Amino acid sequence: PYNIDRKKNSIINLSKLDFEYDSINHMGIYYTFIDICYVYNGIHSTSSGIELKKEGNIRVKDVVKIEELFDYVYTDGEKWYDTNLGEEIDIVIDCRLAILYEVAKIKYEIIKKSSD
């Protein structure tokens, strides 16, 4: 959460009410294999629901099966690249996601090798 006042208001509201999913406000992307939902809208209320109530769910429209990308995409933490062409695809918006992606690739390879 980037605004302390909005975060504080979310905590105050959720101390009186249950967290309720709002399709207009709560948006995220779910990443398979690492089982993470990256919330990009409704951050204050979603994080407050998690921290304060330890409950609540949001629905996401976007699901990324990251394991399907491992052979085709890599990152240096600043940019995303096409593995085959070595060309830049996009910039990294959040370096934490890039780190998780590369760690997940390592884990995926370990699991794949141990099942062979």
Q: Give the distance between the most distant pair of CA atoms in the chain.
A: 54
Whether residue 46 contacts residue 26, with contact meaning beta carbons closer than 8 Å, is answered with: yes
C-alpha to C-alpha distance for 36 and 97, rounded to whole angstroms: 10
**Percent of the chain, pLDDT > 90?**
51
| Statement: residue 2 has pLDDT above 80 | no
| 55/45: higher pLDDT | 45
Higher local confidence (pLDDT), 116 or 29: 29
What pLDDT, on the 0 to 100 scale, is given for residue 56?
78
* Lowest-pLDDT choice from 32-41, 50-59, 71-80: 50-59
Rounded-to-integer distance, Cα 93 and Cα 110, Å: 27
Q: What is the pTM of this model?
A: 0.72
